[in-house]
Amino acid sequence: MVNRLRALPRAAAASVCAGLLLTACGSNDNAGPATATSPGVGSGAIDCGQAKGQVLASGSSAQANAMSLWTNAFMAACPGADVNYKASSSGEGVTAFTQGTVAFAGTDTPLQPAEVAASKQACPGGKGIDLPMVGGPVAMGYNLPGVDKLVLDAPTAAEIFTGKITKWNDPAIVRLNPGTDLPAQTIQSFHRSDDSGTTQNLGLYLGKAAPAQWPYPPAKPWPAPGGQAAAGSSGVAAQVKQVAGAIGYFELSYATSQGIPTVRLDTGAGTPVEASPASASKAIAQAKPAGTGGDLALALDYTTKAEGAYPLVLVTYEIVCDTGNAKSTLPSVKAFLAYTASPGGQDILTKAAYAPIPEAVITKVRAAIASLS
């Protein structure tokens, strides 16, 4: 039996509270089961159930801002429970989960067959399943003084990130931005240095929408030549913010929080589409089921031309054992994930520039969480 609860000092769990938007984070070992309401974090109450003790989780940095809101609200409402989410990368989260060192993990791409097989060692009698919990656009943020609106299409973006287009006044960019004074400035492209589900989703989009310009198979490591690397979505966003002429990719919440302008995508629809929670939700709503059994993985349509649908989206999944969860953490895992999937938990996502999971999908997620054992 893998021990999925490696206790850390309670101060480590408290560290997730530093600098967050909400307050009142803490714990009380003597607190019993409770149902509590946390004002300002969405509609409805948080059902703490039998939640108590510490839960360790890690993975996707794409959902870091959402997790900050969720963990803070949950621990404020359920003082007997601590949820410590370490934002690293999807690859690191999956590895930690299959090795049994975390109770659940976040990933921006569904588990691959080899990862499902590996998860059986950490889930005695069961396996890891994908529960879609956070949606949102992957924004292409840029730093081009004097240009507050910029349109790109998939082929042009692909050639920027592969280094084939090197100047901001390249004819391909000019064609997409009539009337905009584009400078003859060198493009500084930034990508992730770590294994990233965000990178993989960018590759899926470019590979589907611009296969001639992006010949690389979708993968968590950055596949293309050229460009500069930074760790995590926060690192890429920081570089774009600081470097004139820069462009990079990261979740919209990072652009919003740092005031970074984002690219509008020419998808072939009547109007270029801006990255927003609403436009991302419209694209995610067109996704098809891809998982089997209790797995709720989705197949996104990266080539949609639907009006107002932003196709460069990702869905972050919480990976958890369907069966075989440690008894010591199962009540807290179920209570926390039930909150994140609840109307109140999903409601706060738009406040951090994320997109709620469509109701037809999140209803199935709630049922899957209730059946965890």
Q: Which region holds residue 151: left if phi is over 0, alpha if psi is between -120 and 50, else beta? A: beta
Q: Is 259's pLDDT higher than 70?
A: yes
Average pLDDT, the chain: 89
The arrangement of secondary structure in 10-134+317-370, i.e. its CATH architecture, is 3-Layer(aba) Sandwich (3.40)
Which residues make Cβ contacts (< 8 Å) with residue 32, sequence separation at least 6? 80
d(CA 251, CA 275): 10
* Overall average pLDDT of the 203-223 stretch: 96
Q: How confident is the model at residue 246 (pLDDT cuts 50, 70, 90)?
A: very high
Q: Which residue blocks in 210-358 are alpha helix, DSSP H?
A: 232-242, 252-258, 277-284, 330-341, 343-347
The pLDDT tens digits of the residues spanning 73-83 come to: 999 999 999 99
Which residues make Cβ contacts (< 8 Å) with residue 186, sequence separation at least 6? 166, 167, 168, 245
For residue 232, the tally of other CB atoms under 10 A from its CB is 21
Q: How confident is the model at residue 44 (pLDDT cuts 50, 70, 90)?
A: low
Q: Is 308's pLDDT higher than 60?
A: yes
* Overall average pLDDT of the 233-242 stretch: 96
Domain spans of the chain, in order of start:
10-134+317-370, 138-284
Q: Is 31's pLDDT higher than 70?
A: no
What is the pLDDT at residue 171? 98
d(CA 137, CA 275): 6
* Overall average pLDDT of the 340-345 stretch: 97
CATH number of 138-284: 3.40.190.10
Closest residue by Cα to residue 61 from 253, 190, 246, 219: 253
For residue 43, the tally of other CB atoms under 10 A from its CB is 12
The pLDDT tens digits of the residues spanning 350-369 come to: 888 899 999 999 999 999 99
* Overall average pLDDT of the 302-310 stretch: 95
What is the pLDDT at residue 26? 32
What is the pLDDT at residue 321? 98
Q: Which residue blocks in the chain are alpha helix, DSSP H?
A: 10-14, 64-77, 90-98, 113-119, 154-161, 171-176, 197-209, 232-242, 252-258, 277-284, 330-341, 343-347, 359-370
Q: Is 36's pLDDT higher than 60?
A: no
The residue assigned the tokens 């956070």 is 134
Q: Is 137's pLDDT higher than 90?
A: yes
* Overall average pLDDT of the 89-105 stretch: 96
Q: Which of 1-10, 237-246, 316-325 has the lowest average pLDDT?
A: 1-10
Q: Which of 9-13, 122-126, 210-214, 256-260 has the lowest average pLDDT?
A: 9-13
d(CA 369, CA 120): 18
What is the SS3 assignment for 270-306? CCCECCCHHHHHHHHCCCEECCCCCCCCEECCCCCCC
CB 63 within 8 A of CB 111: no
